Amino acid sequence: SASSAPGNMVHKKPVVIIVIGMAGSGKTTLMQRLVSHLSTSKSRGYVLNLDPAVMSLPFSANIDIRDTVNYKNVMKEYHLGPNGGILTSLNLFATKFDEVVGLVEARAADLDYVLVDTPGQIEIFTWSASGAIVIEAFASCFPTVVTYVVDTPRSVNPVTFMSNMLYACGILYKTRLPLLLAFNKVDVVKHQFAVEWMDDFEAFQAAVEGDSSYSSSLSRSLCLVLDEFYKNLSNAGVSAVTGEGIEDFFHQVDKCADEYMESY
Ligand code: GTP
């Protein structure tokens, strides 16, 4: 019930959407699509960029880590390579994150969604202390949903699909927030196969066993693990390029937010 929500969560809105995805999944294009959908619909959005290394963003951000931390200077100052530079920039920004959440809180009454873009090197966000700080800071104030962007055409191979789902599974257990899989690029390949595999692990197992390169006993065990995992997550098929499925995506986000309000 709402009474078990964190004390300061008076309003149901805005819903925070943290967008995570492997390089090439289409995360940036999807962010751009989500931002433009909000600006043309009646919903009011707020946009945060947490990628210090992005050269140019195809959408405008209300708060941009690049305005606070200069990633190239961080690399020089701390003698770091690109990944260390991104991680350290994120750490520096995370120390001020309560101010960021304060800015969002001040605007909360006028907002429906807060879109959060994360670094392209996914593990820098998902497996770092600062990523956890950012997620926790939002989740303690607002209903917060994590979206994992999946490259659907690249996931038609059952073993690739399974690896991708295991990664998503790790994100679910690490963040302990509602997780929404955004099967992107459905203009190229429909995500129906993925829905079938998630609904019926025997169908998935049959597909995986057709792949001679794979140990079927391992796949059998993983199927059972994933079957449990699938019960805890939502999905939407989207195309960042054509805009197909974006309405349903937001509908799923709202359902995840309700789930959040009930259980956190
Ligand atoms: P990085 O910037 O490398 O982190 O990748 P990203 O995950 O942000 O992906 P990006 O948005 O740059 O998209 C990767 C490629 O996929 C680009 O060539 C996009 O045009 C393409 N792409 C993204 N979304 C879609 C989609 O819905 N359909 C199709 N057909 N292509 C897409």
CA-closest residue to ligand 1 atom 3: 23
The alpha carbon of 4 and the centre of ligand 1 are apart by a number of angstroms equal to: 39
Measured in Å, residue 243 CA sits from the centre of ligand 1 at 13
**Ligand 1, CB within 6 Å, residue ranges:** 21, 23-29, 120, 184-185, 187-188, 239-241
How many separate helices (H) and strands (E) can be counted in the chain?
Answer: 11, 7
Atom 29 of ligand 1: nearest residue by CA position: 185
Enumerate residues 6+ apart whose C-beta is below 8 A from 166. 222, 226
CA of 254 to the centre of ligand 1 (A): 25
User: Three-state DSSP class for 212?
Assistant: coil
Pocket test for ligand 1, best of 27, 29, 59, 189 (most atoms within 8 A of CB): 29
Integer Cα distance of 175 and 179 in angstroms:
9
Buried-state track 1-30, b at ≥16 Cβ within 10 A, e below 16:
eeeebeeebeeebbbbbbbbbbeebbbbbb
Predicted interface score ipTM higher than 0.90: yes
Q: From first to last of its 264 residues, what are the pLDDT tens digits of the chain?
A: 344 445 455 446 899 999 999 999 999 999 999 999 999 998 999 999 999 999 999 999 999 999 999 999 999 999 999 999 999 999 999 999 999 999 999 999 999 999 999 998 899 999 899 999 999 999 999 999 999 999 999 999 988 999 899 999 999 999 999 999 999 999 999 999 999 999 998 898 888 887 766 666 777 788 888 988 999 899 999 999 999 999 999 999 999 999 888 886
Contacts of residues 75-84 at CB distance under 8 Å and 24 or more positions apart, as own/partner, are 82/53, 83/121, 83/124
Please give the Cα distance from 68 to 22 (Å, whole number).
25
Residue 149 CA, closest ligand 1 atom number: 7
Ligand 1 centroid to 163 CA: how many Å?
A: 20
Please give the backbone phi and psi of residue 69, each rounded to the nearest 5 degrees, phi first.
-120, 130
- 45 CA → ligand 1 middle, Å: 22
This prediction has a pTM of 0.93
Residue-wise pLDDT tens digits, 1-37: 344 445 455 446 899 999 999 999 999 999 999 999 9
Cα 127 to ligand 1 centre (Å): 23
Q: In what helix (H) or strand (E) does residue 240 lie, and over which residues does it extend?
A: none
Structure tokens at 171: 């994100």
Give tens-digit pLDDT for 182-213. Answer: 999 999 999 999 999 999 988 988 888 877 66
